[in-house]
Amino acid sequence: MSFSRLFYHVIWGTKNRDLTITSEIEPILFDYIRSKAIGLGGIVYALNGTKDHIHLLVHIPRTIPLAQFIGKIKGTASAKLNKSGFGDGHFYWQTGYSVFTISEKIVPVISKYVENQKFHHAAGTTNSQNEL
């Protein structure tokens, strides 16, 4: 039997960093992201962001490559959002993403950082190193 504990802090933005994640669509978009991550076998510890990007703290199972996991989440979330009629059917993500591996020991610290994204961006304290 195999065992893994792989934790990732993943960040990706809207196309051209457009401010398209409005307060109206944010809960719907986050539901799509969370549902897809769980459907792929992930465990979501934190999910938040601002009008132009998303932060996701997640455990990804060893059975799916990281790029495939993130690609499926991004693709499903934007497709479902566009089909739902929110965002005028013109919601897109940037190509690529940033990802950081983290130890299980600091999952609570990074979770708090992700959950407080709006505050951090308003206060200019967006470097997670400030939180450690």
Residue 1 lies in a domain: no
CATH number for 121: 3.30.70.1290
User: Tell me: the pLDDT tens digits for 12-68?
Assistant: 999 999 999 999 999 999 999 999 999 999 999 999 999 999 999 999 999 999 999
Does the reported pTM lie above 0.85?
A: yes
- What pLDDT is recorded for position 84? 87
**Total domains in the fold of the chain:** 1
CA nearest to 58, candidates 49, 48, 47, 68: 47
State the pLDDT confidence band at 4, using cuts at 50, 70 and 90.
Answer: confident
Residue 2 lies in a domain: no
Beta-carbon contacts of residue 101 (< 8 Å; ≥ 6 apart): 6, 7, 8
User: Tell me: the pLDDT tens digits for 81-120?
Assistant: 999 877 677 899 999 999 999 999 999 999 999 998 877 6
DSSP string for residues in 76-100: HHHHHHHHHTGGGG---BPS--EEE
